[in-house]
Amino acid sequence: MKILMVGTGGVGEAAAVIASKRDPKGDWLELMVLSDYSLERAQSVSERIADARFPAEKVNARNKDEVKALVQKYQVDLLFNACDPSFNENLFDVAFECGVHYTDMALSLSVPHPTDPYHKTNVMMGDYQFAKHEDWEKRGLLALVGIGMDPGAVNVFARFAQKHYFDEIDEISIKDGGNLSAEGYDITFGFSIWTTIDECLNPPFKWEKDKGIYTVEPFSEPEKFTFPDGIGEQELVNVEHEEMVMLPRFMGDVAKRMSFKYGLGADFITMLKNLRALRLDDKLSKVRGTEFSPRDVVGMVAPSPVEVADKLKGKCCVGTLVTGLKDGKERKVFLYQTSDNEELMERIGCGCVVGQTAYNPVMAFELLAKGIWQGKGVLGPECFDPDPYIELADEYDFYMGMMEMESEYKKLMDKQALLSTVKILSK
């Protein structure tokens, strides 16, 4: 498989490192072109990897012709969009126009409802992309959208849970938390600043079978959730996230409710509210006749995820909590990925938030390259068989676990755990 990566930021770099290490002999990865607006950045990533299959190129991702020229030059099979999602529409269209497959890790952006943003939807995440599903399908092309950690692995978890652990699902709720902190920094972004501001200040989506997708207030419905791996209890709130348009689309037939909850922390929420109050979250502003993006300015001056990555300590944990019925008993299961920042820094030289994201597109590329995952149209990770993905994660040494949470079903399992100890040994 020949891939053109557009955008060699934190996630792009991590994905390149992971791919190069995973497939040193090129069994399935023939080429991964590293292109970025900054040639210097692309080159430094390329030099770090020191693998001839990873050449550096300069590209302006907003300029279709420049991207197309690279697709042609390298005759790639797939365009891997590793930019922030404001580039999605352009890159998604370029891939289609060039007749190559496409992958991203976040969906095209929403536009809140002009008069009732916290109840009604308007343009939703991914609308632009999903609207073109049939066109892609007809041309036999695949746009695998939202294959990062969340969205991405959590969508696979949802499908896996539905396939194996439940007869009936009540709720699918994504939980994103962690305990990262960096000495000397009061506020840190583990991930794209631009995207973080966007997803946190936009009206969050939720879904119910009878109501469909609807919006609520940002940071609403706080709840306590206890993450594993030493992270402990956190307060989670509603935040806009892709899963709330993807899972209803592809798994709306198997669940009653869906939600996405983020453990931002009170300080982080206050900071975001202040950005909004100061209009520093605006995507476009006009001051003395000059147009500029205050949000881009924040993204440029604030401590970047790359800058703080090697100073962060702690872990991040993202997973899918599914509640429902199994064998007539109420069951609650949490499928999760947990990463330790220092451990990932040592292993792939990237922080855990970007690293946690980057494993997923690479694993998907391998499954697609090997023909284990096949599809056409604009699809999410939940459209594919989750089993080979879970198995592959183990080969990548990308930790994934399943926790049985307190429930009627677990009480029965606790009993069986005790009894099976005796019975296994007495056999």
Options 60, 387, 409, 427; binder of a second copy; rule CB under 8 A: 387
Residue 425 interacts with a second copy (CB under 8 A): yes or no? yes
Contacts of 163 (CB under 8 A, 6+ apart): 386, 387
We find the least distance from the C-beta atom of residue 425 to a second copy, in angstroms, to be 7
| Segment lying near a second copy (by CB under 8 A), choices 86-94, 130-138, 173-181, 401-409 | 401-409
Residue 394 interacts with a second copy (CB under 8 A): yes or no? yes
| Segment lying near a second copy (by CB under 8 A), choices 89-97, 100-108, 343-351, 400-408 | 400-408
Region 218-277 residues binding a second copy, contact defined as CB under 8 A: 228-230
Region 125-144 residues binding a second copy, contact defined as CB under 8 A: none
* 206 membership: H or E segment, kind and range: strand 205-208
Contacts of 363 (CB under 8 A, 6+ apart): 389, 392, 393, 396, 398
Residue 165 interacts with a second copy (CB under 8 A): yes or no? yes
Residue 414 interacts with a second copy (CB under 8 A): yes or no? yes
CB closer to a second copy, 206 vs 331: 331
Residue 290 interacts with a second copy (CB under 8 A): yes or no? no
* 5-20: burial string, b at 16+ Cβ within 10 Å, e else: bbbbbbbbbbbbbbbb
Contacts of 402 (CB under 8 A, 6+ apart): 333, 334, 335, 336
Options 73, 279, 313, 415; binder of a second copy; rule CB under 8 A: 415
Q: Phi/psi at 151 (nearest 5 deg)?
A: -70, 160
* 416 membership: H or E segment, kind and range: helix 408-426
C-alpha–C-alpha distance, residues 314 and 84, integer Å:
25
DSSP per residue over 100-146, as a string?
A: -EEE-SSPPPPB--SS-TTT--SBPTTHHHHTTHHHHHHTT-EEE--
We find the least distance from the C-beta atom of residue 394 to a second copy, in angstroms, to be 6
Residue 167 interacts with a second copy (CB under 8 A): yes or no? no
Q: Cβ(195)–Cβ(299) under 8 Å? A: no
CB closer to a second copy, 211 vs 224: 224
Residue 390 interacts with a second copy (CB under 8 A): yes or no? yes
Residue 426 interacts with a second copy (CB under 8 A): yes or no? yes
Contacts of 391 (CB under 8 A, 6+ apart): none
We find the least distance from the C-beta atom of residue 226 to a second copy, in angstroms, to be 8
We find the least distance from the C-beta atom of residue 107 to a second copy, in angstroms, to be 26
Q: Cβ(51)–Cβ(25) under 8 Å? A: no
CB closer to a second copy, 22 vs 410: 410
Q: How many CB atoms lie within 10 A of CB 83?
A: 27
| Segment lying near a second copy (by CB under 8 A), choices 81-89, 179-187, 281-289, 399-407 | 399-407
C-alpha–C-alpha distance, residues 80 and 156, integer Å:
19
Options 183, 186, 346, 406; binder of a second copy; rule CB under 8 A: 406
Token pair for residue 389?
């993905």
We find the least distance from the C-beta atom of residue 415 to a second copy, in angstroms, to be 5
Residue 403 interacts with a second copy (CB under 8 A): yes or no? yes
CB closer to a second copy, 303 vs 314: 314
Residue 36 CA neighbour count, 13 Å, CB half: 22
| Segment lying near a second copy (by CB under 8 A), choices 55-63, 108-116, 270-278, 391-399 | 391-399
Q: What number of chain residues touch a second copy (CB under 8 A)? A: 32
What is the edge-to-edge ordering of all strands in the sheet holding 101-103? 56-58, 31-36, 2-6, 78-81, 101-103, 142-144, 377-379
Options 69, 266, 284, 417; binder of a second copy; rule CB under 8 A: 417
Q: Pattern of binders to a second copy over 328-347, x per CB under 8 A?
A: -------xx-x---------
Exposed / middle / buried, residue 170 (Cβ in 10 Å: 0-12, 13-18, 19+): middle
Instruction: Note the residues at the interface with a second copy (CB under 8 A).
Output: 160, 164-165, 228-230, 335-336, 338, 387, 390-391, 394, 399-404, 406, 410-411, 414-415, 417-419, 421-423, 425-426
